[in-house]
Amino acid sequence: MYAIQEKSKKINRNKIKKRNVKERCIKIILFLLASISILTTIGIVIILSRETISFLREVSIIEFLTGTEWTALFANPKFGVLPLVMGTLMIAVYGSFIAIPIGLGSAIYLSEYASEKTRKIVKPLLEILSGIPSIVYGYFALTFITPLLQKVIPDINIFNALSASVAVGIMIIPMISSLSEDAMKAVPNEIRQGAYALGATKFEVSIKIVVPAALSSIISSFVLAISRAIGETMIVSLAAGSTPKLTLNPLESVQTMTSFIVQVASGDVTHGSLIYKTIFAVGMLLFLITLIMNIIARMIIKKYREEY
């Protein structure tokens, strides 16, 4: 009897040891998987930093950040990045003017007004927009939106910031509406019922109760969508043109940071040349702008975060 008990204990110890080894292996594998994104980000930052530092040894950082002329591909190049930054921000801001009201309004309708049957039909149809390739949006802007705008505004250029902004705004609508709607749905129903019991209308509950309660996640969707707009490439390359101009006029052709990178990268550029290094310098600035936006968004989200 004693021998049987000892054998049973030994078997149990072996099972526990094997289970612990298995758990350690799983933990290591999951840690490695989680580290991939961090290592990738570190690798991107190292490559961008190395080439950017090399670029800034030949071009003054003051000239780069404050210059108002960008003629990197000309015989006498000037490297003032402000025209590219202004073009990028113009597309993102004007696109947000379109996407935020429509996206948030769609989210409020789907969350508070639509029946469950309607929601199951409308939401997937709306999310189809996010699955359309950006190059399709670019041709849509160039061949449909621009001719439509020319009928209303005859002086508008064929390649213009407004047409690209409209297409970018349409593209990021599903991102805002889907994430915001999910956030509103997560607000406890008891809060809504309490507001209704006090005599509030559905619109008042939606605007004054549900939206403020889900505000942190809604702001997250805004920032994510704007970051997507800032990093958009094909739409602006096709519809906005390639004119690095420091202007706030959306009727003119502009060039964004991403479209410049595409223009240079698709050309015959010598590896290690100054023009080649501009790709990384512009990319680094774009990375920093997006990073700053996300830091600000986190601060806002932390301030207005509600937990239930």
Same domain, 8 and 124: no
**Nearby residues of 177 by Cβ (< 8 Å), 6 or more positions away:** 102, 103, 104, 106, 107, 110, 126
Cα gap 208→185, rounded to integer Å: 15
Tell me what pLDDT residue 191 has: 85
At residue 1 the predicted structure's pLDDT band, cuts being 50, 70 and 90, is low
Same domain, 177 and 230: yes
Distances (CA, A) of 44 to 41, 54, 191: 5, 16, 45
Q: Total domain count for the chain? A: 2
Q: Which domain holds residue 290?
A: 82-304
Cα gap 187→211, rounded to integer Å: 9
Same domain, 281 and 222: yes
Same domain, 156 and 262: yes
Tell me what pLDDT residue 101 has: 93
Same domain, 89 and 47: no
Same domain, 105 and 35: no
Q: Burial letters for 54-82: b for 16+ Cβ neighbours within 10 Å, e otherwise?
A: ebbeebeeeebeebebbebeeeeeebbbb
- Indicate whether 200 pLDDT > 60: yes
Cα gap 48→54, rounded to integer Å: 10
Same domain, 89 and 50: no
Q: What is the pTM of this model?
A: 0.83
Q: Is the residue at 77 inside a domain? A: no
- Asked if 81 and 64 touch (Cβ cutoff 8 Å), the reply is yes
What's the mean per-residue pLDDT of the chain? 84
* Sole residue written with tokens 């969508």: 225
Backbone dihedral angles phi then psi of residue 79, each to the nearest 5 degrees: -120, 45
Tell me what pLDDT residue 95 has: 92
Q: What residue type is 71 in one-letter code?
A: T
- Indicate whether 212 pLDDT > 70: yes
CATH of the domain at 187: 1.10.3720.10
Q: What residue type is 307 in one-letter code?
A: E
Same domain, 98 and 135: yes
* Sole residue written with tokens 């958009």: 232
188 or 266, higher pLDDT = 188
